Amino acid sequence: MKNLLIIGAGGMGREVAWLVERINKQNSIWNIIGFIDDSIEKKDKNLNGYKVIGGLDTIEKYPDAYLVCAVGASKTRKSIVDKIHERFPDSEYATLIDPSVEMSDKNIIGEGSIICAHSILTVNIDIGKHVIVNMDCTIGHDAVLNSFVMVYPGVNISGNTNIGTCTELGTGMQIIQGKKIGDNSIVGAGSVVIKDIPENCTAVGCPAKPIKFFE
Please report the beta strands in 95-176, taking only residues with DSSP state E, as ranges in sequence order. 96-97, 102-103, 108-109, 114-115, 120-121, 126-127, 132-133, 138-139, 144-145, 150-151, 156-157, 162-163, 168-169, 174-175
* pLDDT at 40 > cutoff 80: no
Mean pLDDT of the chain: 97
Confidence of residue 26 (pLDDT cuts 50, 70, 90): very high
Note the pLDDT tens digit of each residue in 57-85: 999 999 999 999 999 999 999 999 999 99
* Per-residue confidence (pLDDT) for residue 215, from 0 to 100: 75
Confidence of residue 5 (pLDDT cuts 50, 70, 90): very high
> What's the whole-number mean pLDDT along residues 161-186?
98
* pLDDT at 43 > cutoff 90: no
Helix then strand count (H, E) for the chain reads 2, 25
> What's the whole-number mean pLDDT along residues 156-179?
98
Note the pLDDT tens digit of each residue in 175-214: 999 999 999 999 999 999 999 999 999 999 999 999 999 9
Q: What is the pTM of this model?
A: 0.96
Q: Which residue from 189, 190, 188 is spatially nearest to 201, judged by alpha carbons? A: 188
Instruction: Return the percentage of the chain with pLDDT > 90, whole number.
Output: 96
* Per-residue confidence (pLDDT) for residue 69, from 0 to 100: 98
Per the CB < 8 A criterion, the answer to whether 74 and 149 are in contact is yes
Compute the radius of gyration of the chain from its Cα atoms. Answer: 17
* Per-residue confidence (pLDDT) for residue 88, from 0 to 100: 97
